[in-house]
Amino acid sequence: MPGSKASAAARKTVTKAPSKKAAASKARASTAPSSTAKNAKAPVSKPSGGKVAVGKKVPAFSSLITGGGSWKASEAAGKNVVLYFYPRDNTPGCTTEGEAFRDLAAQFNKANTMILGVSTDSIASHEKFKAKYRFPFELLSDEEQALCQLFDVIKEKSLYGRKFMGVERSTFLIDASGVLRQEWRKVKVPGHAEAVLAAARAL
């Protein structure tokens, strides 16, 4: 019947309209950023207090350490700390520097000073490096560059004309109360460990 066909057509029109709106809402929801996505991009937490400065207390920090677990700066209470940053495990300059600190380790100990090497290498790499060259001190792994940022040692470098960001060889001497007493940047390896030892003895 003509009336029935018209009525059916009207019902179809009514049911189609909401489904289009629902589809549009669904499309908008799918393109909107979710709270989960935002959380996934949250920055890695870093030590508070900004960059370090000579004469000021170094902000509290912790890092993975060879031998297992995490090391906190508070564990050095009562001792001076030499924190030396180097570019990479098993490279010539970094090996020579590590050996120099190794050979003077007993004298640093007599000066109430502990040595800690830091690079962005993994703990697995550090363990092999430490064992190979018989370092009597521990190495901190800073893969996320939290310590590197705190001590401001990530700089633009150049190799064979290629520019990149990397660790600038640097050393920091922190006294027994946690105050940064001296820093060496753009370190040249020859004679460096000896200079740091002299400074540690003078504290």
148 in active site:
no
What the block records as the tokens of 57 is: 């207390």
pLDDT digits (tens, 9 = 90+) for 166-187: 899 999 999 999 999 999 999 9
pLDDT digits (tens, 9 = 90+) for 19-52: 444 444 444 444 443 333 333 333 333 444 468 9
Domain boundaries, the chain: 2-40, 62-201
Within 10 Å of residue 84's Cβ, how many Cβ atoms?
A: 26
Q: State the pLDDT at residue 160.
A: 75
Catalytic residue among 58, 65, 81, 94: 94
Q: State the pLDDT at residue 134.
A: 98
Classify the phi-psi angles of 119: left when phi > 0, otherwise alpha if psi is within -120 to 50, otherwise beta. Answer: beta
Helices marked H in the chain: 2-31, 35-40, 92-103, 105-110, 123-132, 146-150, 192-201
In angstroms, rounded to a whole number, what is the distance separating the alpha carbons of residues 190 and 168? 16
CATH architecture of 62-201: 3-Layer(aba) Sandwich (3.40)
pTM of the complete model: 0.74
**Is the model's pLDDT at 5 over the cut of 80?**
no
Amino acid at the residue 146: A
CB of 117 within 8 A of CB of 141? no
